[in-house]
Amino acid sequence: MNLVQEKLHQAADILREFDVDCWITFVRESQLNGDPVLDFLLASDVTWHTALIVSREGKTWAIVGKYDQASVEDLGAYGEVIGYVESIRPHLQEVIRRLQPRQIAVNYSKDSEICDGITHGMFLTLQEMLEEIGYGDRIISAEAVVSALRQRKTEAELDAIRRAIRATEEIFDEVRQFIRPGRTEKEIAEFMKQRVKERGLELAWDPAYCPGVFTGPAEAEAHYHPTDRQVQPGHVLNMDFGVKVDGYCSDLQRTFYVLEPGEDGPPPEVRRGFETIVAAIRKAKDAIRPGAKGVDIDRIAREHVVTAGYPEYPHALGHQVGRFSHDGTALLGPAWEKYASKPFQPLEAGMVFTIEPRLPVEGRGVVTIEEMVVVTEQGAEWLSTPQEELILIR
């Protein structure tokens, strides 16, 4: 069973769970303006207006332009593939008349960008087509459906994520031998990119920022490109890095310390900062379980960091990872307006999260670690191998 077949079966189960009759993904020119959920529904881009329909009974339709029909049929995932030339309208309306749904879930959301795939123009077009047959008032948000589909990872999805993590950890092991005083952030980043290329893999996000390399005290602490800044003795150096394997991402951070002449280990202030981060991650991981809310998990780690005398980290504790390095709706984060309802979504088995608190060490740099875990029925399991010790550079 391929990914699309697997996810369409899962989608029907989700529709029954949420008592929704019908779900429509409606797109055009997907290479230019695609819906984030398309990775689960198609294996290639589409050009003309396209409707991908799933019913709670598990029936599926793909209504596509004539020249996309063969590619969609090759998937073997849709019960009926309908090709058209002049207009999608009569075919879409006919399927809806046959289904007679009470609700029609459509991919829009105020709170979750991952579920907000339909453009405003396409929404108006779909609404007009449905109004013509008396179904315009049955449109509802598909946020719950799309969130569940993305967040509940199958074993095949988890396997790809694990393989991406293993490759990332191997490259972290290799780069530790390359880092030395005088190397620049750019040189370190290029070394890692070459290791990715040799493995035939892709970077998990924009190559301009992946990997992120930050050495010593600096203004830019995250989401910034590597610079000509040189590694120096006494620096804390951290890296944010991930790769993509079979369409699924890893996202990890590791912290290094560059020993000064005569040092056998990090100074007390660096060690204390590192141990604070390790403990905060462990406390958060131990609290994760189905039904818990991300806002409460974030609070545990945040309070530990602040109680230790450090400032609050200015971001969420952790995000989901999947087809994108930032994926899913539920978030391990504080109750800040920008995060909307995400921190209040109950956690579910199958969700994959990062845990990534950070803190500054004055005059040295930023200490941060980013691990990955999967939520299980019993709690949470490590997907990454936790960094328990500073990586020392001589």
- pTM for the predicted model, two decimal places: 0.94
- Domain made up of 3-150: CATH architecture: 3-Layer(aba) Sandwich (3.40)
Fold: same for 3-150 and 152-393: no
> Where residue 107 falls among pLDDT bands split at 50, 70, 90?
very high
Average pLDDT for the chain = 96
Mean pLDDT, range 285-306, rounded to an integer:
98
Give the model confidence (pLDDT) of 45-93 as tens digits.
999 999 999 999 999 999 999 999 999 999 999 999 999 999 999 999 9
The pLDDT of residue 228 is 95
Superfamily for the 152-393 domain: Creatinase/methionine aminopeptidase superfamily (3.90.230.10)
The pLDDT of residue 220 is 59
| Boundaries of every domain in the chain | 3-150, 152-393
Token pair recorded at residue 74: 């090759």
Give the model confidence (pLDDT) of 154-201 as tens digits.
999 999 999 999 999 999 999 999 999 999 999 999 999 999 999 999
